[in-house]
């Protein structure tokens, strides 16, 4: 029986992913900053719920050591923990920028750093890093969040060559717009109706009128992570959700100039 360690399993995509692996008979180490009783409907011998804050080196050491010993080693690590902020760069504090990078980027790298010696010793393993469709479809008002996820994409692509000789796969799951997550409300919470800077209001209005009709469900992401975790082939990227798949195709099918022009059109941004 295989074992998966998942970060950020208290809600949203991470929780749905933990449930899907459990339903498929995997051992699951569901980690979260504050472990909660009864989070998963059925308690199971295959489930361990453990504390993990990906910004805390000691917490990472303890959680990874616990995970490695909980069952028969860790086959798959899913780096899902993350948060976003929807606001103009001008009103993004240095402190918020640092927190975004510490969680989304450095937290992911630190988890990979902690698990690689274990996987290398076993001669096998899969690392699935959850990024976002923003990496191929960047939009205004999420520049720093986009930077955190784009960094993870470059990191993962480079690393997938580096770890392949040791039987370790690295995969990227790129979810689209997932309205059924805490992420979406907390992303907007960095603004409120009164504090959103007026000069940027047209971009916010354009964003709101450009929301995709088909959005990304919890199951879309859980299924993509499960597929990536079980795929021993060479595929690196898994766009997840109909909107993410559509924008990945659109980006691939257009020239750089045409893609940028279509995006400028959607946001009524002048050509410079
Ligand atoms: N929802 C979307 O539209 C969307 C789109 C593309 C990509 N994503 C990505 O998908 C991933 C999951 O997000 P979600 O949408 O499912 O949102 P979510 O429901 O807010 O889940 C995020 C999870 O990350 C955890 N987390 C945050 N900071 C952490 C830290 N320092 N250490 C450990 N865990 C931490 C949260 O735990 P707490 O309960 O402790 O806060 C929560 O379990 C994120 O990486 C996000 O960037 C989301």
Average pLDDT score, the chain: 94
Nearest CA to ligand 1 atom 17: 183
Q: What is the mean pLDDT of residues 99-126?
A: 98
Q: Is residue 225 domain-resident?
A: yes
How far does residue 160's CA lie from ligand 1's centre (Å)?
23
* Separation of CA 270 from chain center: 32
Q: Is residue 207 domain-resident?
A: no
Q: How many domains does the chain have?
A: 1
Helix H, strand E, coil C: the string for 72-122 is: CCCCEEEECCCCCCCCCHHHCCHHHHHHHHHHHHHHHHHHHHHHHHHHHHH
* 154-165 pLDDT, tens digit each: 999 999 999 999
Structural contact between residues 207 and 166, judged by C-beta atoms closer than 8 angstroms: no
CATH of the domain at 126: 3.40.50.720
- Residue of 61, 78, 82 best suited for mutating to test ligand 1, as the one with most atoms within 8 Å of CB: 82
Full domain range(s) for residue 58 = 3-200+215-249
pTM attached to this predicted model: 0.97
Give catalytic status of residue 177 as yes or no.
no
Q: What is the mean pLDDT of residues 249-260?
A: 97
Q: For residue 181, what pLDDT band results from cuts at 50, 70 and 90?
A: confident
Of the candidate ranges 71-85, 184-198, 229-243, the one whose mean pLDDT is the lowest: 184-198
Q: For residue 191, what pLDDT band results from cuts at 50, 70 and 90?
A: confident
Ligand 1 is surrounded, with C-beta below 6 A, by: 7-8, 10-14, 32-34, 52-55, 80-84, 103, 107, 130, 132, 175, 177-178, 181-184, 186
Q: Is residue 9 domain-resident?
A: yes
User: Is the pLDDT confidence value at 17 over 70?
Assistant: yes
Q: Is residue 270 domain-resident?
A: no
Q: Is residue 160 domain-resident?
A: yes
What pLDDT score was predicted for residue 193?
A: 57
What pLDDT score was predicted for residue 43?
A: 66
Residue 154: CB atoms within 10 A of its CB come to 10
């Amino acid at each position: 029986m295989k074992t998966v360690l998942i970060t950020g399993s208290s809600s949203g995509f991470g929780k749905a992913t933990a449930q899907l692996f459990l339903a498929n008979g995997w051992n699951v180490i569901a980690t979260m900053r504050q472990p909660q009783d009864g989070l998963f409907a059925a308690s199971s011998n295959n489930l361990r719920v453990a504390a993990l804050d990906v910004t805390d080196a000691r917490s990472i050491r303890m959680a990874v050591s616990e995970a490695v010993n909980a069952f028969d080693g860790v086959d798959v690590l899913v780096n899902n923990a993350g948060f976003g902020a929807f606001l103009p760069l001008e009103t993004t504090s240095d402190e918020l920028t640092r927190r975004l990078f510490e969680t989304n980027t450095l937290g992911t790298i630190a988890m990979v750093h902690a698990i690689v010696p274990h996987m290398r010793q076993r001669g096998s393993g899969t690392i699935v890093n959850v990024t976002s469709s923003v990496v191929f479809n960047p939009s205004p008002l999420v520049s720093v969040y986009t930077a955190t996820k784009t960094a993870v994409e470059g990191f993962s692509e480079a690393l997938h060559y580096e770890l392949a000789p040791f039987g370790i796969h690295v995969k990227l799951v790129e979810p689209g717009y997932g309205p059924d997550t805490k992420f979406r409300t907390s992303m907007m919470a960095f603004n409120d109706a009164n504090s959103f800077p007026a000069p940027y209001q047209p971009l916010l209005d354009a964003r709101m009128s450009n929301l995709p009709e088909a959005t990304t469900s919890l199951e879309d992401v859980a299924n993509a992570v499960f597929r990536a975790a079980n795929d021993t082939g060479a595929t690196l990227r898994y766009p997840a959700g109909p909107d993410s798949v559509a924008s990945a195709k659109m980006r691939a099918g257009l020239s750089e100039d045409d893609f940028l022009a279509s995006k400028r059109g959607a946001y009524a941004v002048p050509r410079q």
